[in-house]
Structure 1
Amino acid sequence: MKQHEKLNYVEFAAKDLAATKAFFEAVFGWQFTDFGPEYTAFSDQGLDGGFYLADKHSASEQGSALLVFYSADIHATLAKVTGNGGTVVKPLFEFPGGCRFHFTEPSGNEFAVWSESR
């Protein structure tokens, strides 16, 4: 349900839409709706959004926002990420309240996954 003045949608650049879609489908079970050859959208993932064709990417070291997934089994999620073309850019580390790792998907966008315990 849309809520007044709440975050509703997020968009990312993607240099390889097909590889990005395949990655998120395999790792997180996402489904996509294509809107022409240069845009694809996802929904029902906590925040709806899309990927548009561009030769850019989001990285926290460049000041981009970092979207963080939650995992009840961080090791299983880590294995799915690396087994499906993701690259770990910050290995699993602990922080107060849990642990997390950062990864990039095939188009280079950085995300993170966190869990309460290792």
Structure 2
Amino acid sequence: MSDHINYIEFPATNISATKAFFTQAFGWTFEDYGPDYTAFNNQGFDGGFFKSELCSSIATGGALIVLLSDDLERSQANVIAAGGVISQEIFSFPGGQRFHFIEPSGNELAVWSKTS
């Protein structure tokens, strides 16, 4: 048996807005399980969003989920076009670049790309 991350759940103040954002920005698809939960899969990891008045950010000690992109600038433009807020512009670090964003329910995530 191998222990590894299998599923990630996020809080969402507005599940409909969060679903619309991730669909537009990243092409995710969802399956609803009642009005207070929606799930996604095949995104490199599986997970879901549950109805909550809370959100996750690194400022409050939340884990930072980092998505991988083949085109960081395109991903940032997609996030902005879908209504996301850039919380940290693209910056370099050893091995790559990334940016952070806030989705409509207030959760902070990041997108990174390897440097060539």
With the shorter chain as reference, the TM-score category is over 0.9
Identity %: 50
Partner residue of 2:41? 43
Q: Structure 1 runs of 4+ off > 4 angstroms?
A: none
Tell me the equivalent position of 1:90: 88
> Which position in structure 2 is the counterpart of 1:111?
109
Tell me the TM-score normalized by structure 2.
0.95
Cα shift at 1:98: 1.2
1:17 corresponds to: 15
SS of the aligned residue for 2:115 comes to: coil
RMSD of aligned C-alpha atoms? 1.3
- What secondary structure, in the 3-state scheme, does the structure 1 residue paired with 2:66 have? strand
Q: Secondary structure at the match of 2:101?
A: strand
1:61 maps to which of 59, 62, 80: 59
Residue type of the alignment partner of 2:18: T
Q: CA-to-partner distance for each residue in 1:19-71, whole Å, 9 max, x for gaps?
A: 00001111111110100000000011111100001111000111111010111
Q: Determine helix, strand or coil for the equivalent of 2:34.
A: coil
Q: Deviations over 1:74-107 (max 9, x none)?
A: 0000000001110000111111111110001000
Structure 2 unaligned residues grouped into runs of 5+: none
- TM-score, normalised relative to structure 1: 0.94
Secondary structure of 1:76's aligned partner: helix
